[in-house]
Chains A and B, each alone.
Chain A
Amino acid sequence: MASKMIRDVIRDTIDAEMARDDSLIMLGEDIVGGNGAPGGPEAIGGIWGTSGGLWAKYGPDRVIDTPISESAIIGAAAGAALTGKRAIAEIMFADFIGVCMDQIWNQVAKFRYMFGGKSRCPITIRMPYGAGYNAAPQHSQVIHQFVTAMPGLKVVMPTTPADTKGLLAQSIRDDDPVIFLEHKALYAVKGEVPDEDYVIPFGHARQVTQGDDITILATGMMVGFAEKAAADLAQDGIGCDLLDLRTTSPLDEEAILDSVERTGRLLIVDEAPPRCSLATDLSALVAGKAFSSLKAPIEMVTPPHSPVPFARELESAYLPSPEKIVAAAVRLMSYRKV
Chain B
Amino acid sequence: MQLSREALLKAYRQMKTIRLFEERLHDEIALGEIAGFTHLYAGQEACAVGVCEHLGPKDYIISTHRGHGHCIAKGCDVIDMMKEIYGSRDGLCKGKGGSMHIADVNVGMLGANGIVGAGAPIAVGAGITAKSNGTVSIAFSGDGACNQGTTFEAMNMAVVLKLPVIFVFENNHYSEHTGEAYAVGAESMTARAAAFGMKAIKADGIDFFSVYDAMRELIDHCKAGNGPASIELDCERFYGHFEGDPQRYRGKGELERIREERDAIRTFRQKVTEAKLLDHGDLDAVDAEVAALIDRAVAESKAATRPTAADVTQDVYISY
Contact = CB atoms under 8 A, between A and B. Distances in A.
A79 B118 contact: no
Contacts of B60: 79, 83
A256 interface: no
Interface string B301-316: 0000000000000111
B157 A77 contact: no
Interface stretch (B90-98, B184-192, B233-241, B265-273): B90-98
A57 B214 CA distance: 40
Given A72-B153, A111-B103, A113-B96, 8 more contacts: A72-B124, A75-B153, A78-B122, A79-B126, A114-B96, A115-B101, A116-B315, A118-B105
B255 interface: no
Interface of A: 25, 61, 64, 66-67, 69, 71-72, 74-85, 87, 102-103, 106-107, 111-120, 151-152, 154, 175-176, 250
Contact of B97 (A64, A87, A115, A154): A115
Contact of A79 (B114, B124, B161): B124
A219 B73 CA distance: 49
Nearest to B60: A83
B94 A117 contact: yes
A72 B318 contact: no
Nearest to B100: A114
Interface stretch (B28-36, B128-136, B197-205, B219-227): B128-136
Contacts of A112: 315-318
A328 to B, nearest CB: 32
B120 A75 contact: yes
Which range holds the interface residue count of chain B?
35 or more
A87 B318 CA distance: 17
B125 A87 contact: yes
Contacts of A113: 96-97, 315-316
Interface in B79-134: 84, 91-97, 101, 103-106, 110-111, 113-115, 118, 120-132
Nearest to A79: B125
For B91, B111, B153, the residue with the greatest tally of chain A CB atoms inside 10 Å of its CB is B153
A81 B110 CA distance: 11
B56 interface: no
B230 interface: no
A195 B127 CA distance: 36
Nearest to A25: B128
B154 interface: yes
B147 interface: no
A293 B13 CA distance: 68
30 contacts: A25-B128, A61-B131, A66-B157, A72-B121, A72-B124, A72-B154, A75-B121, A75-B122, A76-B125, A78-B125, A79-B129, A80-B128, A83-B125, A83-B129, A83-B130, A85-B129, A102-B118, A106-B118, A107-B122, A111-B103, A112-B318, A113-B97, A113-B315, A114-B96, A114-B97, A115-B104, A119-B105, A154-B317, A154-B320, A175-B319
Contact of B103 (A67, A119, A152): A119
Given A79-B110, A152-B317, A115 B103 contact: yes
Contacts of A80: 125-126, 128-129
B160 interface: yes
B137 A79 contact: yes
Contacts of B154: 71-72, 75
B150 interface: yes
A83 B115 CA distance: 20
Contacts of B92: 116
Given A76-B128, A79-B127, A114 B103 contact: yes
A106 B116 CA distance: 11
Contacts of B244: none
A118 B95 CA distance: 12
Contacts of A115: 93, 96-97, 101, 103-105, 111
